[in-house]
Amino acid sequence: METAAEENTEQSQEKKGCFECCIKCLGGVPYASLVATILCFSGVALFCGCGHVALAGTITILEQRFSTNATDHALLSEVIKLMQYVIYGIASFFFLYGIILLAEGFYTTSAVKELHGEFKTTICGRCISGMFVFLTYVLGVAWLGVFGFSAVPVFMFYNIWSTCEVIKSLPVNMTASADQICVDIRQYGIIPWNAVPGRACGSALADMCNTPEFYLSYHLFIVACAGAGATVIALLIYMMATTYNYAVLKFKSREDCCTKF
């Protein structure tokens, strides 16, 4: 009986030890950095993937509807191809940068102290943490510009779509008025003024709005803009996390000073 009681006590202590270990591990997770990483990966994936496909659809619409001469939109085509290559670089960079920031968040939590003994900071460690703070702030400002830039094609496509809705709302017997409603893409400055035809009117404009290329590109630009906004929010969270981590490492690098942010 005593042996059975001792075994039960040992089992309960082992279970309690495992439970306490799990609680300590969960307490050392940098939740802010983890949420920011998930949000950053999701936002960048939406921006890069949807933006890439939407740009390809935009070229198709321009070639078929607004600029039949390839030389008129040659520069725009080269710029869009360059932007598509830049998108590949952005996706790769943020995948790596997000993992690095998440790792930096883990290594500045109390879990490091509890698992590896004394937690002491060095000048090199504080400099690296400060570099992450500076780089994250720069990227945050840059992505604010990207977010604003990604709203431009959404605005353009919305104007075209709203014009098509006006044409659809006209009575059937008012074809003359419908032909006078046009969208001149040259006014946005993306193709030169001598581009032919340069604009779409009436039924041709309505047919363009019903094409899969227009519908898909319009909605993908909206999703890409939303992805850029999500990335901005993720970088703001990263800013708070890295700034807090740096402040703790710099001013409280003594015992029981580790951050869980």
Whole-angstrom Cα distance, residue 136 to residue 130? 10
For 109-153, write each residue's pLDDT tens digit.
654 454 444 555 566 666 777 788 888 899 999 999 999 999 999
pLDDT digit string (tens) for the chain, length 261 residues: 445 444 455 455 455 566 666 666 666 667 788 888 899 999 999 999 999 899 888 888 888 888 877 777 778 888 888 888 888 888 889 889 888 888 877 776 654 454 444 555 566 666 777 788 888 899 999 999 999 999 999 999 998 888 888 887 776 655 556 677 888 888 888 888 887 787 888 888 888 888 888 889 999 999 999 999 999 999 999 888 888 777 766 665 555 444 444
Which phi and psi angles does 192 have, rounded to 5°? -70, 165
pTM for this model (two decimals): 0.79
Both tokens of 111, joined, read: 């879990």
Whole-angstrom Cα distance, residue 45 to residue 29? 24
For 63-79, write each residue's pLDDT tens digit.
888 887 777 777 888 88
Q: H-helix or E-strand containing 184?
A: strand 182-184
Neighbour-count burial of 80, counting CB atoms closer than 10 A to its CB (0-12 exposed, 13-18 middle, 19+ buried): middle
Both tokens of 116, joined, read: 């590896």
